[in-house]
Amino acid sequence: MFGVVFPDRSFPMDISNFAQIDPTHWILDMNTFVGDACDSIREVCIFLLNGLYLLPDKALAVYIQSLGSPLIYCGAVTVVLPSAVLSLRWPEPGVQMQLTSPNVAPLSAKIGISVEDLATLPFLDVAA
């Protein structure tokens, strides 16, 4: 259905690199690819693959999340805009994760993709 590439950092990856949560939601654990340097990844290019289409009123929404923080919407692709380079502004880890302790897990970050109604998504001018 879709692919992603991190400019200057990776080769194109398809949906098989993501963990599928349900039929319309996927998660990519960034620690698998870049360890705890997730905040060094500043952009993602997402694109629809040829031959697989979204309905005109649907979008693939992109979210990012640092451990303990809420999801942050980054943008979306649609049938009209089948690819986009989106900025990734990683949120600070949640307050409970900022405590210093030798038993605290390393920071983690995820990219989430979901099929959503286009009308419910905030407008971001990703073409600009």
Q: Is residue 15 part of a domain?
A: yes
The Cα 26–Cα 89 span in angstroms is 19
Q: What is the pLDDT at residue 1? A: 84
Q: What is the mean pLDDT of residues 66-86?
A: 90
Q: Is residue 79 part of a domain?
A: yes
Domain holding 71, by residue range, is 2-91+106-120
Q: Is residue 112 part of a domain?
A: yes
Number of domains making up the chain: 1
From its phi and psi, is residue 59 left (phi > 0), alpha (psi between -120 and 50) or beta? beta
Read off the pLDDT of residues 19-34 as tens digits, 9 standing for 90 and up: 999 999 999 998 877 7
Read off the pLDDT of residues 31-63 as tens digits, 9 standing for 90 and up: 877 766 777 888 999 999 875 678 889 999 999
- Is the model's pLDDT at 107 over the cut of 80? no
Provide φ and ψ at 15, rounded to 5°. -60, -25
CA–CA distances in Å: residue 34 to residues 31, 48, 107, 110, 111: 5, 24, 11, 11, 13
Q: Is residue 8 part of a domain?
A: yes
Read off the pLDDT of residues 86-102 as tens digits, 9 standing for 90 and up: 999 888 765 444 444 44
Q: Is residue 99 part of a domain?
A: no
